[in-house]
Amino acid sequence: MSVATCPSTGAVTGLRETLDFFSDPGFASKRFAAHGDVFETRLLAQRIVFIQGERAISDLLKQGAALEGWWPDSVRQLLGSRSLANRSGPAHKARRRVVGQLFSSGALCRYTPSIQGLIEELIHELQESETPQPLAARMRRFAFAVIATTVLGLDASDRDALFADFEIWTQALFSIPLAIPGTPFARALAARERLLTRLKTVLQHSDSSQGGLDLLSGGLDEVDMPLDDDDLVEQLLLLLFAGYETTASSLSCLFRALLLNPDVEQWLLPELLSSPWPFEASHRSPRLDATVLEVMRLTPPVGGFFRRNLQPIRLADVEIPQDRVIQVVLGSRTAEDSSDIAAFRPQRHLDGSFTQTLLPFGGGERVCLGKALAELEIRLMTVGLIQKLQLRLVPDQDLSLKQIPSPTPRDGLVVSVTPRQ
């Protein structure tokens, strides 16, 4: 079988490509249309190979030791040099094994009552509201409350103290890393220092039985991996992000999809109304599962992920030279896709017509740490909110999605709220 040379956009400095990347939501799709499922360009003078499609991504995930993790400079600096995300090899695997205990099935069972309590608080607040509410902002604050409560054991006042700085930090993760006063990146660096200081205070006042900190402490002791406070707070910062951003994005996109497709909501409603509350994880909800999968297919919370190849590799019969950054683009559509692939149709996941593998939280050994927690929160929130409330879109708002750091409605998904009769 013949092997092709990697197609290129021809970018030399990457300046124009970089400007287009940050300003044009269709940056990747336009270039895939022109060059195929694998192409090379330059962003900020960095050679980057973009890939999409099941074959190219599957080939990438089979490369094993030929790959290492990679992040843009903005992410590396804002996460910190000690962060799990910035490590590779044995150091990454050992830390991930310990940190992953915070998202194990046993830990999730332990967190569930707290999550349901936070959902009921949100339902009450929405019921009491007299004006339309920005649902996306409400979901962001809820998702942060969950991770801050379950992992750190924080109360409402302490969560609020962290939340504002965390939003500043999050919004600049994928930004141009210019630390000039007044830029988003500079503000995020300052917010990061305040966050680390507050997280150190949490650790110093913790008895290791709050939230999930005892799981983290026990895991570190078990593998004899002592971490000083500077190291530990960087892991906590990553945990907050992993358990927050993907969940907030998924919840906003799910309710956006249901509000834009009332026929799907009517199809789903009988199953939700007959579900127990408090919701039981073992309860079968095939239509809800299919709806969540369809949201993940169309608007994956992790729009892509990065790797660097340490040796030449072959992806979908395209030769990739050594030492290239590879950006995997998820949620793209290729020329081979069927005509209804752009439609929001959860039934495709129940009738056997959809067979592709979905990677909405990334793939391989660096799959998003918060995946299981996000899936739990989405199921609980969908059942709890729709059982109690009817939501209606306020007219004349922009419902298109901004993509960075994760998909979210541009105008905040403003809704009117009434109790469900």
Please report whether residue 364 resides in a domain. Answer: yes
Q: How far is CA 328 from the centre of its chain?
A: 14
Contact assessment for residue 370 and residue 243, using Cβ atoms and an 8 Å cutoff: yes
pLDDT of residue 337: 55
Please report whether residue 395 resides in a domain. Answer: no
Contact assessment for residue 361 and residue 368, using Cβ atoms and an 8 Å cutoff: yes
Please report whether residue 310 resides in a domain. Answer: yes
pLDDT of residue 373: 86
pLDDT of residue 175: 85
pLDDT of residue 222: 53
Q: Which tens digit of pLDDT belongs to each residue from 278-317?
A: 887 778 899 999 999 999 999 988 778 899 999 999 999 9
Domain count along the chain: 1
Both tokens of 116, joined, read 């349901």
pLDDT of residue 225: 56
3-state DSSP call for residue 403? coil
pLDDT of residue 37: 94
Q: Which residues lie closer than 8 Å to 14 by C-beta, 6 or more apart?
A: 41, 42, 43, 44, 45, 46
pLDDT of residue 231: 76
Please report whether residue 196 resides in a domain. Answer: yes
| Spatial CA neighbour of 204 closest among 243, 155, 152, 268 | 152
Please report whether residue 407 resides in a domain. Answer: no
- Output the domain CATH number for residue 253: 1.10.630.10
Please report whether residue 419 resides in a domain. Answer: no
Identify the segments of the chain with pLDDT beneath 70: 1, 206-228, 332-339
Q: Which residues lie closer than 8 Å to 77 by C-beta, 6 or more apart?
A: 177, 189
Maximum Cα interatomic distance, the chain, rounded to a whole number of Å: 65
Q: How far is CA 360 from CA 250, 328, 371, 406, in A?
A: 10, 11, 9, 11
Domain hosting 311: range is 4-390
Please report whether residue 281 resides in a domain. Answer: yes
pLDDT of residue 208: 52
pLDDT of residue 211: 60
Please report whether residue 398 resides in a domain. Answer: no
3-state DSSP call for residue 294? helix
pLDDT of residue 34: 94
